[in-house]
Structure 1
Amino acid sequence: MDTERHPSPRHTVAILSRGDAAARREATPQNSRFVRVFEALAAAGIEARPAIYDETFADAVREQLLTADGVLVWVDPIHQGKTRAALDALLREVAARGPWVSAHPDVILKMGVKEVLYTTRHLGWGADTHRYASAAAFAAEFPPRLRAGGPRVLKQNRGNGGQGVWKVETVPGADAAIRVLHAQRGSLTEDIPLDAFIARCASYFEWGGCIIDQAFQPRLPDGMIRCYMSGSKVAGFGHQLIKALIPPPRQGPDSPDAQPGPRIMHGPDAPPFQALRRAMEDEWTPRMMKTLSLDEASLPVIWDADFLYGPPDADGADTYVLCEINVSSCFAIPDEAPAAIARAVRERLP
């Protein structure tokens, strides 16, 4: 074929995010928070178009997505009381009719939920982790586990922004009361009867299906390391001094000292994180894929694994404990990540 006279058709990708009708009408690549991703895709020869989603105009979004070769999705599990239940069904339908979707909802249910902390606890990034599959199991098993050890961290299976994540510890001299702190910004420490807290968590089984229970990591004040991945390769790192699950100072949760520090972004070659990079690329990600029955092509084009510092090893080197994997809406991202996303998209589109 004469390729100069008959060039290959240009691939098209929809970048999907949540918004209202006005945002949908006014959306352009230039006014999008994903503008750098649009630019990287264009440089790779891929035409990207914004696709703003809401349940009230889902039919129009469906028709738009069906005209694209691929769909990149940035939508939180929970946003202003709305979940992804309807969107996930739409994306499954779209993917079944031809366009490639990243991250596919079925992949999110394997690796982008808190249950992955339990399923992969044996890989080398795990901690003392348990799973409660029902409210009855939670009520029976959690109280003795809490009383037998130190503070615990409970996590609903699907959520974001600290929603449904709690630090729980016993109160000295009080058998029936516990001390809890929600991870959402602005939360205060609360002493509450254990039975009342168990009842408060019952709704988590309705949406997420389970609660995950991890040992609290004492080195939390040292910060969280976010390892950004594109497929199976590291695309960068972010280090942040977080304040979630740390009791606020006396000045209150809105005081300057209670606010998290900035997330300092680094490229994939940043020297402080090369041991973590080697572990992620050479050991943990391949073993995660095997455990979850995922292949390379199924991995999201952008995802991240959040780590806390564990206790130093016998040689004094840092260890890392996985506290979350983000797949649904991984953003902001390092400067190097848009190019990595574009390379992954180019490789996966037919």
Structure 2
Amino acid sequence: MKLPGQDVMARPAGEHLVTHRVKLPRKALERPIRQVGKRVLMALLVLVATALIVYADRGGYTDNSDDSVDLLDAFYYATVTLSTTGYGDITPVSDGARLTNIFVITPLRVLFLIILVGTTLEVLTERTREEWRLNRWRSALRDHTVVVGFGTKGRSAVQTVCATGLKAEQVVVVDPSSKAIDAATAEGYAGVIGDATRSDVLKRAEVHKARQIIIAPQRDDTSVLVTLTARQLNRGAKIVAAVREEENAPLLKQSGADAVITSSGAAGRLLGLSVLSPAAGMVMEDLIQQGSGLDLVERPVVRAEVGKKPRETDDLVVSVLRGHRVLGYDDPSIGPLQLTDRLITIVRASPSAQVAPHLRPLSGD
């Protein structure tokens, strides 16, 4: 097992690791050719407007060549004036023409220059604007979900959590691959490029303010190191981690994980169940897919259910959570339901509606 200071998060061969970088989701930008076309059109409109203003007041201008200003002269004057060339062969001589130059032509000249150098200005201000967005994002981020690893497991986990009503703005993805972070930001999640075994990378994801942390990297040793680091930074967050090998699950729990999912073992058990009963396998697959068919959810006991047996409730109760114990629905020690109990039930999913705030989904990885 590598030490926390080493890069242990697997990434595609040959891909350069960019550390300590936060990427926020963006709106789709226009194509460059369209942006350039719009700016050229705006510049032409300013040029035409200036020429028409000069031509309308052509009596207040003089031309050194023939003392008269026609439409061509007006466009010529507008061009050299807006570009700040200013040859001086055509000049305003009347008070009205000079006032027009002060209050109209000069602002149009400034607007014309801004349009032409707009791309340069955007580059100069992009860093400041991005820094401002990051500061605002950090100050507003509270009780969010951090997902370490945006592979198949991480992506499925965050989709399941978001299916219950969690907003995409409340999800931060950490991954060493810039391609994975680009995919995450494209789906509306904030992303941090870096090795999650390093505490400074997790701090950039504001893990110390997170409510829940999902750890789903490609390697078990990485899961252990990330869990240790995350638990050190946040003592109260709920940490759920995934491992490939069953023998590594106890080590993860000792490292601070509240729940550990063995991905290979879970897949193997589902395969075995499907062999014995394809229909049972389909039901289990349906249960772990949040938002369609049947959903497995956790909810509190309502007052109308206090004193009843689990089988007497309207929902199909699978287990009762009492304190830190999970009791089966047929456990004789349950007795009457208590107001402090929580029920794990199977409900019919409603694709058009989000899960109520008091319900929490229970899904496999």
Could you tell me the TM-score, scaled by structure 2's length? Answer: 0.30
Q: So what's the TM-score if we normalise by structure 1?
A: 0.31
Task: Tell which has more relative contact order, 1 or 2 (C-alpha 8 A, sep 6+).
Answer: 1
Higher strand share: 1
In terms of fraction of residues, the more helix-rich structure is 2
